Amino acid sequence: MQSTVTQYGPVAFAGLMDGVANPQNVRSYSAEAAVGLARAVMLGTNKDKQVLHATTGAAAIGFAIHDQAREQNSAGLVQYAAKETVSVLNMGRFWCETNDAVAAGAVANLVVATGKLTDEAVTAGTEAFTQVSVRFITSTTGAGLAIVEVK
Residue 127 CB neighbours (<10 A): 20
Are β-strands 35-36 and 117-118 bridged in parallel, bridged antiparallel, or unpaired? unpaired
* Domain CATH number, residue 62: 2.40.300
- What digits encode the pLDDT tens for the residues 81-137? 999 999 999 999 999 999 999 999 999 999 999 999 999 999 999 999 999 999 999
**Within a domain: 20:** no
Q: How many helices (H) and strands (E) does the chain have?
A: 0, 12
Q: What pLDDT sits at residue 76?
A: 77
Q: Is the residue at 104 inside a domain?
A: yes
Closest among 106, 112, 100, 107 to 39, alpha carbons compared: 112
User: Which pLDDT value is given to residue 12?
Assistant: 75
Confidence at residue 6, expressed as pLDDT on a 0 to 100 scale: 67
Question: What does the pLDDT look like over 139-149, one tens digit per residue?
Answer: 999 999 999 99
Q: Confirm whether 71 is domain-assigned.
A: yes
| Strand 145-150 versus strand 85-97 pairing type | antiparallel
On whether the CB atoms of residues 65 and 16 are closer than 8 A, the answer is yes
Total domains in the fold of the chain: 1
Q: Give me the domain span that covers residue 33.
A: 25-150
Which of 71, 79, 72 is closest to 36 using CA atoms?
Answer: 79
Question: What are the C-alpha distances in Å from 71 to residues 16, 32, 83, 91?
Answer: 13, 19, 16, 24
Nearest to 112 by CA among 101, 103, 99: 99
Phi/psi for 39 (5° steps) reads: -90, 145
Q: What angle do CA 48, 84, 23 make, to 5 degrees?
A: 65
| Residue 83 domain-assigned (yes or no) | yes
- Supply the pTM of this predicted model: 0.91
> Which percentage of the chain shows pLDDT scores above 90?
77
